[in-house]
Structure 1
Amino acid sequence: MDANHEKTTLEQLTRKFITGCHILHYHNVVDAYGHLSFRHPFKSDRFCMSRYIAPGTISSPNDLIEYYVKDAEPVDPNSSKGYSERCIHSECYKRYPSVQSVIHSHSEAVVPYTISGVPLRPCFHMGGFLGTGVPVWDIGEAYQPDDIKDMLVRNVHLGSSLAATFSDGGDVPKHAVALMRGHGLTVVADNIEECVLRAIYTQKNAAIQTTALTTRAAYGKATQEIKYLSEEESAAATNMTKWSAQRPWKLWVREVEASNLYVNAA
């Protein structure tokens, strides 16, 4: 592959990344906090995410920082300040070679499922990727004595502990989403579009499940149990969202392009 082709590919991916950040903000998955990243397409030992700014304000390639997967340190030591929780991303890339994009969010619709003991489960076909249940990672069980206990994933050992939640020990993630107690969620995927889709529909699924639980409670025990997707239905629905991901993506791109808030100069 020649240098010009690599340059063009990276430029296209950078533009897609910036658009993805805007889409996540437009759909309230992130606000001033939260972040998206992608693995470098030609250097698998590196990943890219923005400097320390709100996702909705990312606007050009100058806002991106390239990091080493091994320790989440910037390739350029003179880079701008980065996010404190970039080890969430580096450790997911380190543990799972197939993962190409990661999102961390504080979605308010999802947070109740990190602290209530009620499992987040797929309620409708667009949430099939959630599988038969979503694991909840408790940072309190991963702290070391010298850690700052502010709930942030500030270092490699905390990031590694979170990343391990996605599997049963292998190098292929069993789960697409992991919840973080009292904090939010992390999403992994094979590409930016799928990662954004999973983050958005995790939030939508949580809202639907909360409505279903509230509705059932209002009518008492006379109503039937909530019917979640079966394992077979979840697997089939996951495949459906993979091949149809471009459909919502193209709509979401148009939405942010039509907004005066967002700028994408990539």
Structure 2
Amino acid sequence: MTEHPAPDLRRDLVTASRILFMKNILDGFGHVSARDPEDPETFLISRNMAPGLVSRADIMRLDFDGNDVENSGHRPFLERFIHASIYRHRSDVNAIVHSHTASVLPFSISKGSTLEPVMHMSGFLGARVPVYEVRDHGHLGCDMLVRNSEMGDELARTLGDEAVILMRGHGMTVVAPDVRLAVFRAVYTDVNARVQTAALSMGEYTALTPGEASAADETNSAQNLRTWALWETQVQNGCAD
């Protein structure tokens, strides 16, 4: 069996940021991170900047309290606590994407429709996509941002064992065992939301069963490198560093 070299996480985070910008998952805001396998109580994430401009030199390492453990001098993202708390609560998660993807926002505020898998590429959504509601935790009149560990922990507990969580009036957070699968899931959460919205406009529709969703997720998780290779090539000139 051919052994593949371990991914260069810093390079993957740069590429992931560029891919997610290209795919309109991230714009001037949002972020992607990876647990550091050499120090699993820390994670890598870019400094506070637009994702489409991230370079290798912009990657910093934080602990689960959101502290810059290397004293890089970079200014971290305000919502770094989303990542820190999920890594603390979920040992199976090694990569996280947080975005404000417009297609999913209606499902975060709708009282009549919930996001669910309607296509085989989004089986990872499972039977229930939870929604983090800041008001349920006493955060009245706040700016909706996850500004501290308390709110991060609330988000992580609401996420539970799922792969995706919506944040009411805010966006979504996607988790995965690695960066490349996290990118795949973020992209296809967007695609699923757009397909489901189109189906809703036509009336009743048929979603995946839990069994179909699980089987599809297993198949797609083993093949996501195909999409990564394509998307990486599309942004390759911008990721030369």
Do these two structures clear the TM 0.5 threshold for a shared fold by scoring above it?
A: yes
Q: C-alpha offsets along residues 150-205 of structure 1, whole Å, 9 cap, x if unaligned?
A: 110000000000011122xxxxx2x1000000000001100001100000000000
Q: Which residue of 1 aligns with 2:74?
A: 80
Q: Which residue of 1 aligns with 2:31?
A: 35
Q: Which amino acid aligns with 2:128?
A: G
Q: Which residue of 1 aligns with 2:186?
A: 199
Q: C-alpha offsets along residues 15-42 of structure 1, whole Å, 9 cap, x if unaligned?
A: 1111011000000000000000000011
Verify the 8 A CA contact 2:123 2:212 in the aligned structure 1: yes
| Aligned counterpart for 1:214 among listed residues 201, 213, 217 | 201
| Aligned counterpart for 2:210 among listed residues 231, 245, 249 | 231
d(CA) in 1 for partners of 2:225, 2:29: 26
1:111 to 2:105 alignment: yes
Q: Which residue of 1 aligns with 2:222?
A: 243
Partner secondary structure for residue 165 of structure 1: helix
Alignment of 1:28-177 (within 5 A): 28-60=24-56, 62-69=57-64, 71-117=65-111, 118-143=113-138, 149-167=142-160, 173=161, 175-177=162-164
Q: Which amino acid aligns with 1:194?
A: L
Verify the 8 A CA contact 1:52 1:82 in the aligned structure 2: yes
Q: Which residue of 2 aligns with 1:14?
A: 10
State the superposition RMSD in angstroms. Answer: 1.5
Unaligned runs of 5+ in 1: 1-7, 168-172, 217-224
Q: Which residue of 1 aligns with 2:19?
A: 23
Give the fraction of aligned pairs with identical amino acids, expressed as a percent: 38
Q: Which amino acid aligns with 2:134?
A: I
d(CA) in 1 for partners of 2:156, 2:240: 31
Alignment of 1:181-192 (within 5 A): 181-192=168-179
Q: Which has the larger Rg?
A: 1
Q: What TM-score do the two structures reach when normalised by structure 1?
A: 0.85
Q: What TM-score do the two structures reach when normalised by structure 2?
A: 0.94
Q: Which amino acid aligns with 1:139?
A: V
Verify the 8 A CA contact 1:18 1:264 in the aligned structure 2: no
